[in-house]
Amino acid sequence: MRAGVVIDAFTDEQVEAFRRDGFLIVDEELVSERALERLRERYLKLFDGEYETGIRPDEVNWVPGRDPEDRTRQLCNAWRADTLVAAQVLSERIGRLAAQLMGYRGVRILQDNVLWKPPGTKAIGFHQDSSYADYLVPPEMVTCWMSLHDTQPDAGPLELVRGSHEWPKSPPERSQFHAPDDWLAGARAAAPGGTEPETVPVVVKAGGGSFHHGLTWHGSAPNTSGTVARMALVSHFVPVETRFHETNVDVTYSRYRRHGDLSLDESFFPVVWDESGYRTPWLAELPRID
């Protein structure tokens, strides 16, 4: 990461690269140096079940003593549990950058991921984020992945399959998501003409990261580094006009659908950035992270 370089808008060349490859790796600062240390401290508390707001994340996929130590730790929608996490995943700047890449007039948060991959942890199976969005209209999203540590190829960084956003959408894979033996199986099966997927690791300094299209295949190999832990924070954004599907439901997130109303409530899916200048008002109460 170029120290202190904060990006406010992408160049035409960067947007073209995203639309060609289905992703864009960002060397500039997505997470400030000041926020990095504070977020790492919050991770330790979150995975110990200490929630600043008193509200549990929507999904707690790893609990110490309950789950194997070789599993990647993951929380979903930890922004509800911690205001510092909320400040980062609901960043107006990050939302604006994501919208620019997709050509959206605005974005709102769908979900965050708090990820922690210590040495020895197993893989996350390759998948397409939009495969899990059939309870939404439109069923699509764009993702920003932000690293809280320097990443290296043998520490299980995020890997993206170049050009795979042009492939058809595959059914969601749930049984082989956490700790699969063949983490590339889904992408390999989906690759046109039986070609081997071209994976690109996101190797960046702490505070850097990447953006990827909702149809881009991605996942991560095991962390075989022996010494390097990896923490990452993820924002999944949807177009500002997104609504719930009339009949399709999600076992977790459709709980936020109001009876007789398919709109996404801003208490749970706030507008992060809109070209009109609108932003969900209560976001102004979040702590500063720069």
Tokens representing 43 are: 């991770």
Range(s) of the domain holding residue 75: 12-256
Q: Tell me, what CATH number does 111's domain have?
A: 2.60.120.620
Tens digits of residue pLDDT in 241-261: 999 999 999 999 999 999 999
Q: At what angle do helices 12-21 and 92-102 cross, to 10 degrees?
A: 70
User: Which pair of structure tokens corresponds to residue 282?
Assistant: 């209560």
pLDDT value at 266 more than 70: yes
Say if 168 falls within a structural domain. Answer: yes
Q: What is the token pair recorded at 30?
A: 């997505």
Q: Is residue 113 part of a domain?
A: yes
Is 79 a domain residue? yes
Domain count, the chain: 1
Q: Binning pLDDT at 50, 70 and 90, where does residue 180 land?
A: confident
pLDDT tier for residue 219 given thresholds of 50, 70 and 90: very high
Q: How far is CA 139 from the centre of its chain?
A: 16
Among 59-68, 102-111, 166-175, 180-189, the range scoring the smallest mean pLDDT is 166-175
Q: Which residues contact 42 (CB under 8 A, 6 or more apart)?
A: 52, 82, 84, 85
- The Cα 150–Cα 239 span in angstroms is 31
Using the predicted structure, report yes or no on whether residue 19 has a pLDDT greater than 80.
yes
Q: Is the pLDDT of residue 29 over 70?
A: yes
pTM for the complete prediction?
0.96
Residue 270 domain flag: no
Does a structural domain hold residue 7? no
Q: What is the mean pLDDT of residues 187-199?
A: 92
Q: Assess if residue 19 is contained within a domain.
A: yes
Calculate mean pLDDT across residues 64-71.
93
What pLDDT is stored for residue 1 in this prediction?
42
C-beta neighbour count of 237 within 10 angstroms: 29
Secondary structure (DSSP) of 63-115: -TTTS-TTSPEEEESGGGT-HHHHHHHT-HHHHHHHHHHHT-SEEEEEEEEEE
**Rounded to whole angstroms, how far apart are CA atoms 75 and 151?**
20
